Structure 1
Amino acid sequence: MCARTPAQARHNQRVVITAIIYAVTLIPVVYAIRHGLVAQPWTTIIALLPAIPVVGFFASYARYLSEEDDEYIRMLVVKQILAATTVAMTCAVVWGFLTDLGGAPPIATYWVAVVWVAAQGAHAFVSWLRAR
């Protein structure tokens, strides 16, 4: 979907930049750590590098909401964020109980962010279909 407002265009640009930085940092970091090319304490520091653009991605939503002048569009995005947060937190809590009490294998907590992004995108798509 194309940006409809100047705030959306700026947000989309920030998201693309953070996604590129994430991809550029993730691959070499995973490779270096998994192949033992980095020792402690550098492993811990380098492991944080891919997290920085992800934090920027989420921060972009806060900035976008403060920049968006169109109240209707801002409300739609808030609904997307609420739906995504509900889905991600529900998955985190359910899997947490399954792991702690039900014998399910633990998973990396960064998957909560992946679920959030997928749920936000799904809600945005459904909203777009309804508006048509």
Structure 2
Amino acid sequence: MNAEAQKSAGFLGRGPVFWMAMFVVSIAALATLKLTGAIEGPALLILGLASMGLMVPAVLAGERRGCASQAMVKYNRRILIASFGYVLGLGIAMAVWNTYQPSGPVVFFLALLPTLPTFMMIWAMGRYLIDEDDKYLRFRTVQAALISLGFVLAIGIFWGFLETFELVPHIWAWWVLPVWAIGLGVAQLVMKVRGG
């Protein structure tokens, strides 16, 4: 897309960095509101989904700039769907848990709501590696995934020992997904900036 066409696209013509920054700011604002108790329940879920909505123009802006293979376009779509499923499943599960305090098989089903979309994310990554024809792009994706895995392992091991020695509070294991995703994004950004 040439510069004139981008100007005519207006606000939605902004680049992926702008949309990612908006997403990070919105998530930070939601976390702050949640931690201060200013927002709870359905409002948190709705605003969380709205924040996730910022990922759509971020992905589209990246694709508009021509920096995505056909396999990456499919991967992006699959990850967006899975991410919305994750946020929706997590929101519904937490709302039902906090409101009704269910027991038995219902609790197992609630735990599956945010878990199943994570399986789709894992499948989407594997499918991308199969679909991607460009060996260099495939290598960069594997490299970024390994860097983010190392990031999660290092943080998990360090935090685990801090917990063992009772220096920090216990955290739930589902933190692995968001930390891995952040690590993946940072690794991809660093590799892009370094040009390798």
| TM-score under structure 2 length normalisation | 0.63
Q: Is the CA contact (8 Å cut-off) linking 1:91 and 1:112 kept in structure 2?
A: no
Q: TM-score, normalised by structure 1?
A: 0.91
Is 2:128 the partner of 1:64? Answer: yes
Provide the residue aligned with 1:39 in structure 2: 103
- Match of 1:104, SS? coil
How is 1:1-132 mapped onto 2 (pairs within 5 angstroms)?
Answer: 1-2=62-63, 4-36=68-100, 38-131=102-195
How far 1:101 sits from its partner (Å)?
Answer: 2.5
Q: CA deviation at 1:102?
A: 3.9
- Unaligned runs of 5+ residues in structure 1 are none
Distance 2:132 2:161 in 1: 38
Q: Could you list the runs of 5+ residues in structure 2 that have no partner in the other structure?
A: 1-61
Higher relative contact order (CA closer than 8 Å, sequence separation 6+): 1
How far residue 131 of structure 1 moved from its aligned partner, in angstroms, is 2.5
Post-superposition Cα deviations, 1:23-79, rounded to whole Å, max 9, x if no partner, equal 222212100001225332211222221111012112211111111110011111111
> In the comparison of the two structures, how many residue pairs are matched?
132
Q: 1:96 to 1:68 in 2, by over 3 A?
A: same
Q: CA deviation at 1:117?
A: 0.5
Larger radius of gyration: 2
Aligned-residue CA RMSD in angstroms? Answer: 1.6
